[in-house]
Amino acid sequence: MKRLIEAINVTKEFPIRKDWFGRTVEKLVALKDVSVYVKEGETLGVIGESGCGKSTLARTILDLEKPTKGEVRYLGKNIHSLRSGEYKNYRLNVQAVFQNPQNSLNPRMKGWEIVTEGLRINYSYSKKELKEKAKELLELVNLPLNALESYPHQLSGGQKQRLAIARAVALKPKLIVADEPTSALDVSVQAQIVNLFLDLQEKFGMSYFFISHSLPTVEAVSDRVIVMYKGYIVEEGKTEDIIGFPLHPYTKLLIESTPVPQPGLKKLTLPDSNGGKIPKQGCPFYFRCSYRKKECLSFDMKLVNVGNGRKVACLLFL
């Protein structure tokens, strides 16, 4: 299968303090030399605790953030060197669903206008045709037809997220980047939304870049998983391998601390005995790791291939 989207050696720095002359004096490195790909038809799950860079990676793939170093490729081409028609094609084919539908839906637009906005902008449908399309889209995501004329505030959280999902699938994209799409919803609704993602993938065969703090959710949707820690990918591999036999000490901690096999019940917040401090060099997990040795402080966090499509960034596996 072809690689739909790829991030190649992406580093993303945010300036967080500037001096009087506007020069950056302090920066935060949100992504460190991250390389990742999503193939046609597959789901890549992304896990890691809050602040590790998941959303920044998603936003970089969506071209909402520019990499400081490295590049994002769509079907093998750097998105920043695409001709305008190719760039438009990339934008149509890579859609997003965000965590909070409250913020991502225009409060002044009705349901039918929201789900057909992309169709209206990119194609020349009449109003009647758009309303027909909207009806089909609402049926596709199991929304009642009265949502056509409803404003977002008249819908429940789960219904709003269904609307956001309908908007994303309206253009029949090849990839949907879903950034914690169930985290803001009631626990009882989360599984329904996960099932909707699975149904839609079965119908249309699109790929997902799926971020979630819920391991059971990631397990349910993903073919492969990447595990992130402090801007690095520390482990990647097939879902059942990562969940069944975590190798990186951080992945182990992450999985052992998620005892409840129900979506959304456990947030990925782990005991952090060191107040989030990381060493100046070497493995960022050093202070929390029970296997640490002093060589870890000069380890460059390169992912090492350990077979079966699996990679780990840890000295233990060199």
Ligand X SMILES: Nc1ncnc2c1ncn2[C@@H]1O[C@H](COP(=O)(O)OP(=O)(O)O)[C@@H](O)[C@H]1O
We find the least distance from the C-beta atom of residue 104 to Mg ion, in angstroms, to be 14
Beta carbon of residue 130, minimum distance to ligand X (angstroms, whole number): 34
Q: Which one of 43-51, 72-80, 130-138, 300-308 is the stretch in contact with ligand X (CB under 6 A)? A: 43-51
Phi, psi of 51 (to 5 degrees): 90, 0
Nearest residue (CB) to Mg ion, 35 versus 100: 100
Q: How far is the CB of 25 from ligand X (least distance, A)?
A: 14
| 116 scored as a contact of Mg ion (CB under 5 A) | no
> 125 to 184, contacts with ligand X by CB under 6 A?
none
Question: Which residue, 49 or 241, is less far from ligand X as judged by CB?
Answer: 49
Q: Which position among 4, 10, 30, 178 is part of the footprint of ligand X (CB under 6 A)?
A: 30
What are 78's strand-pairing partners?
73
> Of these, 52, 200, 227, 233, which contacts ligand X (CB under 6 A)?
52
- Give, as ranges, the residues between 13 and 42 that touch Mg ion (CB under 5 A): none
Q: How far is the CB of 181 from ligand X (least distance, A)?
A: 13
Please identify, among the stretches 46-54, 130-138, 262-270, 301-309, the one whose residues bind ligand X according to the rule CB under 6 A.
46-54
Backbone angles phi, psi at 254, to 5 degrees: -60, -45
- Tell me which residues touch ligand X (CB under 6 A): 14, 16, 28, 30, 48, 50-56
- Tell me which residues touch Mg ion (CB under 5 A): 54-55
